[in-house]
Amino acid sequence: MSPPPAPTLLDGFAYRDGTMHAEDVPLATIADEVGTPCWVYSHGVLDARFRAFDAAFAGIPHLVCYALKANSNQAVVRTFAELGAGADIVSEGELFRALAAGVPPERIVFAGVGKTAPEMAAALQAGILQFNVESEGELLRLSQVAAGMGRTAAVALRVNPDVDAGTHAKITTGTPDNKFGIEIGDARAVAAQAAALPGIRLAGLAMHIGSQLTSVEPYRAAFGRLADFARSLMNEDGHRLERLDLGGGLGVHYRHAPPVDLPSYAAAARAAVAGFPGTIVLEPGRWLVADAGILLARVQYVKRGSLKTFVILDAAMNDLVRPAMYDAWHPLRPVTEPAAGAEPVTVDVVGPICESSDVLATAREMPPVAPGELVAIGVAGAYGAAMSSFYNSRLPAPEVMVRGQGFSLVRSRPSYDEMIAHERLAPWQTHQP
């Protein structure tokens, strides 16, 4: 069976009259007004992806909690909040972002292995839906914090179902080798402990086996184990469970692997939870936002060496770190539509950072480009801007959202003064040399 073709950019990004548009806006117009590099998001793609995901679970009680770690821009989070989404958060900062964007606290789920006591207190004060508890130590701490505040924390025990998702080792989370969750063999005892602790109400179970899954089979196995365990806890141990949190991790089409089939994924979930008397929680992140975003950059130089040709952009690994971190592959296209029959050349697409790992594409065949031309790096709406940094004291790229014929700057490029505003000289350094 031959692999699927490499992806075009995205539904919301296409050539029109010889130039690539974001919805109805030429990307060159955005570059001229905002500068490069910059992130560009399609509101239409965000809207369509959420509606499709939500519709896949129509007819059963469910809550879609967008995973903020994929892209935490306020305009992105507000787009989903206005469509009825909740939020999957992993820090107090993400709690603040979710609330500021208008996500109701009763739709917020707090996951993550290292919750601190102040983070727990903030979430309890806000009145979130549930904590996904990942260890016995965390459960005991949450009990102390909640009881001390006179509150009751609704808890879903995150069970590690020992299912290998078959993804990159750095984004697999569902086996005993990973730091996440309570091993399923230990979870019954922890559930009994949770039911007896002050300040704790055992409300459900949770799982998440990894990210960028493109096959339904690992989900089918993990959903089945979680649902069977839930039935055992309810029927044999007398626990009253209100929710099953099935996590997220759905994969998208970066290169060869096709995206996960949404109807098959939803069917696997429906089959596993059939008869469960409560609500299903789902935590998509990448699947909702990856295809909605590009990184727009400008070619600075084309450097031809004896072994390689390098296309040097003004975007770098401080903007998009995924290729350096995961050897991730992103589609990359010139913004000006190549002439028919243009012969591709093999290049490494790199940035200006002083690291050999600052490579955005290796041995990539693409149409010839020249200094000053714009290129679009696709499927970049997830884990792009959210993982960007000031490395090499480069200013993080601004973010733009497009809707129809209009666009808006939804995060500005900081100034150099803002870059160092939170730094201070030590007292003995106050005199000028």
Tens digits of per-residue pLDDT, 256-307?
778 889 999 999 999 999 999 999 999 999 999 999 999 999 999 999 999 9
Domain final residue pick, 284, 310, 344: 284
**And the tokens for 410?**
């939804």
Is residue 326 assigned to a domain?
Answer: yes
One domain, residues 115 and 152: yes
3-state secondary structure of 347: strand
Pick from 100, 101, 152, 157: nearest CA to 128: 152
Q: What are 370-396's pLDDT values in tens digits?
A: 999 999 999 999 999 999 999 999 999
pLDDT at 12 > cutoff 50: yes
* Contact assessment for residue 45 and residue 292, using Cβ atoms and an 8 Å cutoff: yes
Lowest average pLDDT, out of 58-72, 196-210, 251-265, goes to 251-265
C-alpha span between 406 and 402 (Å, rounded): 6
pLDDT at 433 > cutoff 70: no
Q: What are 144-178's pLDDT values in tens digits?
A: 999 999 999 999 999 988 775 554 444 444 445 56
Q: What residues act catalytically?
A: 354
Is residue 160 assigned to a domain?
Answer: yes
One domain, residues 255 and 310: no
One domain, residues 133 and 242: yes
One domain, residues 188 and 335: no
Q: What is the CA radius of gyration of the chain?
A: 23
User: What angle is formed at CA 413 by the lines to CA 286 and CA 119, rounded to 5 degrees?
Assistant: 55
What pLDDT score was predicted for residue 171? 41
One domain, residues 349 and 208: no
One domain, residues 339 and 395: yes
One domain, residues 210 and 359: no
Overall number of domains in the chain: 2
- The domain in which residue 364 lies consists of 13-41+290-419
Is residue 215 assigned to a domain?
Answer: yes
Pick from 135, 33, 38, 132: nearest CA to 90: 132
Cis peptide before 37 (omega within 30 of 0): yes
C-alpha span between 181 and 311 (Å, rounded): 43
